Amino acid sequence: TIIPAYPAAVVDPTGAGDCYEAGFLFALSLFSDPKELGRFASVVASRCVETPGAPRISKAEVLSLLADWQDNAVPARPFSFLS
């Protein structure tokens, strides 16, 4: 299963992987479905890159964004090192 990235307006990508891992590990206490684990972690990582420095992200904020996110509503964005 491919889990798309939650859309984000990137300001500072530092720590995105760490935030994803932390979100995934925290999600283990909430979900058992691997897809939901990845979606939760994706939302956490997206919020992480939208602010400079270490963000403060609440569980309620992530669950709210997750509830509104539909996989098919996320536009595919091509990846390029040059853009």
Q: What is the dihedral of CA 9, 59, 19, 3, to 10 degrees?
A: -70
d(CA 49, CA 81): 17
Q: Which two tokens stand for residue 31?
A: 């979900």
- Let me know if 12 is a catalytic residue: no
The catalytically annotated residue of 12, 18, 33, 71 is 18
Q: Active-site positions? A: 18
